[in-house]
Amino acid sequence: MHMKNIRHSWAEPYKIKMVELLTMTTAAQRKKALVAAGYNTFLLKSEQVYIDLLTDSGTSAMSDRQWAGMMLGDEAYAGSRNFYHLEEVVQQTYGYKYLVPTHQGRGAENILSKVLIKKGDIIPGNMYFTTTRLHQELAGGKFEDVIIDEAHNPESEFPFKGNIDLDKLDRLVKKYGAKRIPYVSMATSVNMAGGQPISMANLKALRAYTKRHGIKVIHDMTRVAENAYFIKEREKGYKDKSIRQIVKEICSYTDGATMSAKKDALVNIGGFLAVNDWDVFEEARNLVVVYEGLHTYGGLAGRDMEAMAIGIGESVDDDHIRARVGQVIYLGQKMIEYDIPIVRPIGGHGIFVDAKKFLPHIPQEQYPAQTLAAEIYLDSGVRTMERGVVSAGRKADGSNYYPKLELVRFTIPRRVYTQAHMDVIAESTARAHLTKHSP
């Protein structure tokens, strides 16, 4: 036996105390369920699903400490002690000065957009996200994509495909003038690009550029810890820094943030808006009362804020994030071994399979990504999300939009599934390739 190259595996920094039993279905039951759902995995009932990879949002397993924190909920209408705990954790972990809790990420996006955007403003960003862009548009702004070109190419191995192209940004500033650009909408771990990170060097350059032009940087920090992990792994000078340090440095180059705590921060519901500018905070605090709730609870119960405060602390732990992203990479590598074409490099929150390439005999008009998602569910009860023609929606005349990318997203909930589940997912996906589809 060769003892030289024994690998150092990552493993979960926790053990399992309680389990949720799953329904095991037969192929006949799955077929019936799929037909009833119109072959749309979104319309399946959760009970009919074995391994649910629809999203990593709100699907995390909370720790024993988070559950214990739920019992410490102070359900006062105003000034709950859980709010002050959360405020302290946000200030210490991310460095932002002022906190406004919201029921989830889009609640924060709504308020922030209303405070900062005027009619006719331009909002440059590193790729759109559906809810973020919609709130920018509802507030009267127009989103402009300034992500680097590599982000649009699923085969590019560029390590920081979330980077902002400063030349593209500069062209917008020259065209519209800095006065019409209230802020750059910068996301860490760019979701629609496949969970791709932005580099610290790019962020520093962005900060320097925006400072010169008096433009703010607003951070969609939904998956900031996962981005920090890639900086630690891939960027020079960060190997010996902790995730906590890297996260705080990222935030230091920005003026404020919106957060969906349902992802990185390991809670089933919750979010917030955090800013450094007192005037922006004051306006946001006035608006949150209208849309979410008083500024010391923002639509959340005291217990939700406590679970979030504890979850934020756990999310920036080095061992946690190594195991979290390690599991996603494990699944991605299995897929690569089976010759399944996936978006490269492997991102932080899931695997994106290129359905056009995987099922080349199915033309885009016949929904290759939707077909693949249905096929995988039929085979094993694994639920994935279509990110192609169907998600892109239809034009006013009822005809389809045909997006360049036709993907199936396998989003991995945090601390929920095991390595054996990952094996089942990869095997089931590989088998879908073998099914013959009649044209």
Among 37, 70, 91, 131, binds ligand P70 (CB under 6 A): 131
Q: What are phi and psi of 387, to 5 degrees?
A: -130, 70
Of 69, 73, 101, 105, the residue at the interface with ligand P70 (CB under 6 A) is 105
Give the separation between CA 241 and CA 13, rounded to whole angstroms: 19
Tokens of 272: 């917030």
Smallest distance from ligand P70 to CB 15, Å: 28
Calculate Rg over the CA atoms of the chain.
22
Binding mask 169-188 for ligand P70 (x = CB under 6 A): ------------------x-
Report yes or no: 106 and 129 within 8 Å, Cβ to Cβ: no
Give the total of residues touching ligand P70 (CB under 6 A): 16
DSSP letter at 145 equals E
Residue whose C-alpha is closest to residue 154's, from 201, 192, 186: 192
Name the one residue in this structure whose structure tokens are 């991995």: 412
Q: Which is nearer to ligand P70, 393 or 398 (CB)?
A: 393
Nearer to ligand P70, 269 or 294 (CB): 269
Per-residue interface string for the shown chain with ligand P70, residues 186-225, x marking contact by CB under 6 A: -x---x----------------------------x-x---
Q: For the window 264-283, what string marks contact with ligand P70 as x by the rule CB under 6 A?
A: -------x------------
Handedness of CA 55, 302, 226, 162 (dihedral sign): positive
Answer yes or no whether residue 286 interacts with ligand P70 by CB under 6 A.
Answer: no
Smallest gap from Cβ 148 to ligand P70, in A, equals: 18
Site for ligand P70 contains 132 (CB under 6 A)? yes
The percent of the chain in helix, strand and coil, each rounded to the nearest 5, is 45, 15, 40
| Closer CB to ligand P70, 25 or 52, in the complex | 52
C-beta atoms surrounding 48 within 10 Å:
18
Q: How many whole angstroms separate alpha carbon 195 and alpha carbon 218?
A: 18
| Three-state DSSP class for residue 274 | strand
Does 104 bind ligand P70 (CB under 6 A)? Our answer is: yes
For residue 408, give the amino acid letter: V
Query: CA–CA separation, 47 vs 36, rounded Å?
Result: 14
Name the minimum Å distance from CB 28 to ligand P70. 30
Query: Which one of 45-53, 89-97, 101-109, 298-306 is the stretch in contact with ligand P70 (CB under 6 A)?
Result: 101-109
**Is 113 an interacting residue with respect to ligand P70 (CB under 6 A)?**
no
**Residue 126 in the binding site for ligand P70 (CB under 6 A):** no
Q: In what order do the strands lie in the sheet with 385-387?
A: 350-354, 407-411, 385-387
Determine which residue in the list 23, 29, 40, 130 makes contact with ligand P70, applying CB under 6 A.
130
Kindly state the smallest distance separating residue 187's Cβ from ligand P70, in Å. 5
Helix (H, G, I), strand (E, B) or coil at 185: strand
Query: Which residues partner with 143 through β-bridges?
Result: 123
CA distance 87 to 94: 10
Task: State which of positions 222-241 bind ligand P70 (CB under 6 A).
Answer: 222
- Choose which of 13, 37, 55, 158 interacts with ligand P70 (CB under 6 A): 55
State which residue, 182 or 271, has the beta carbon closest to ligand P70: 271
Q: Does 129 bind ligand P70 (CB under 6 A)?
A: yes
Residues that bind ligand P70 (CB under 6 A): 55, 57, 104-106, 129-132, 187, 191, 220, 222, 260, 262, 271
